[in-house]
Amino acid sequence: MTGLLRRQLWGIMRLEIRRLFLSRMSLVVYLLAFAPAILLIGHATFETRYRQRLRSIAKTHKPLAGLDQVYPGMSMQQVVERLGRPYAQRFGRRGSPTVFYQYTDGTTNLTVVFMQGYVWRLLYREPTSLPEYLRLLSGIFNLYYLRLGIFFGAVWVFASLFRGQILDKTIHYYLLCPVRREVLMAGKYLAGLLSMILVFDLGVLFQWIGTLWLFDKATLAGYLDQSSLRQLLTCVAVTALGCLGYGSVFTAVGLIFRNPIVPAAAILAWEQINPFLPAALKPLGMIHYLQSLLPSSAKLDQQIPPMISLLIRPGEPARPTVAVIWIVTVSLVLLAVCCVLARRLQVNYATD
């Protein structure tokens, strides 16, 4: 009997995974998961070509002195005597006395802005360091992936496991099969969970690949020895837990409500206002426990205006073990409720 249930479970998962990966609805999930990676890879491609261009320019137009030898108030002649002729020169709009000279030493690009023949501003563009890119990745994961990407992906995938097939009038093919409803529910949920974890974790991995290829092996080796990829592995694990938690929530929503949009909007609003809630209400949101698992929890910026800092109340993050136990426990409870709902599921296409 156990072998029969295992084969039934695997058969349902195989059908559902094929449907989730190959249907048109999966394009939305791919876009949510890979949009940041596409932008970062495009930026990395542009940045690589830009750095190569600066290095090639520096071979033929290397400044006579360091770029820090220029300061506001110098005349155009003094700048040329100190740095030499610029590799690029352009003028402002017609009638404007503004002139732009550009210099580079192969890594940093300096734009000298002249106003009426004297240096008015100095615009430096230096290459972004690896720690700055890692902070950018952390911000993308915290603000987009946890709060929007995984959330809407779970709504799209899990809320339609049953409700989508009811609307398409295809759920009766499953219900007429000699399969227990609990096995059907478990198979559909596991298929959605594995699909989401695979897609969104690949999205996280591609973001890191698109960022790290900008740096040489020595820089990457120093980073790998120092942090041991802890931040990347944490993001991968938190992504899986987010798919687990939000997946169970919206599987239940899809079984309880005929129109899951309204409850999904209410849950989204609750998750988004979590930073503004009192400390006693923060633990009622899934986002509170997911952010508690990140290596560096979001802290209140000292430069935030006082009126906004009065609204945002930073709560004490949950301990990692407590956060994991809470997410897994709530997910199991909701899945048990889903099994009961699936057992009682009756479909009437005339009303649904």
Q: Do residues 181 and 251 share a domain? A: yes
Q: Are residues 174 and 81 in the same domain?
A: no
Claim to verify: residue 119 and residue 152 sit in the same structural domain: no
Residue type, 127: P
Is 62 domain-assigned? no
Cα(79)–Cα(90) distance, rounded to whole angstroms?
16
- Which residues span the domain enclosing 101? 69-125
User: What is the tens place of the pLDDT at every residue in 92-107?
Assistant: 877 678 899 999 988 8
Q: Quote the CA–CA distance of 350 and 100 in Å, as a whole number.
A: 71
Query: What is the torsional sign of CA 14, 20, 21, 23?
Result: positive
Residue 22 has pLDDT above 50, yes or no: yes
Q: Assess if residue 181 is contained within a domain.
A: yes
Give yes or no: residues 160 and 115 share one domain. Answer: no
Q: How many other CB atoms are there within 10 angstroms of residue 258's CB atom?
A: 11
Task: Report yes or no on 184 lying in a domain.
Answer: yes
pLDDT at 329 over 90: yes
Check whether residue 183 and residue 312 sit in a common domain: yes
Residue 242: name the closest of 150, 155, 333 by CA: 150
Q: Domain ends where: 108, 125, 142?
A: 125
**pLDDT of 343 over the 50 cut:** yes
Please report, for the domain that includes residue 102, its CATH number.
3.30.1450.10
- Asked whether residue 190 is domain-assigned, the answer is yes
**pLDDT tens, 272-320?**
888 788 878 888 889 999 988 887 544 444 445 554 444 455 567 888 8
pLDDT value of position 306: 53
Domain shared by 92 and 215, yes or no: no
Same domain, 29 and 100: no
Q: Are residues 205 and 110 in the same domain?
A: no
What is the side-by-side strand order in the sheet with 98-104? 88-91, 98-104, 109-115, 118-125
201 part of a folded domain: yes
Comparing 14-18, 114-118, 342-346, which segment has the lowest mean pLDDT? 342-346
pTM of the model: 0.82
DSSP 3-state of 125: strand
291 neighbors 297 (Cβ within 8 angstroms): yes
Query: What is the Cα–Cα distance from 94 to 214, expressed in whole angstroms?
Result: 39
Do β-strands 88-91 and 118-125 pair in parallel, antiparallel, or remain unpaired?
unpaired
In the prediction, which pLDDT does 284 show?
Answer: 87
Q: What average pLDDT does range 246-258 have in this prediction?
A: 90
Q: Answer yes or no: do 38 and 89 share one domain.
A: no
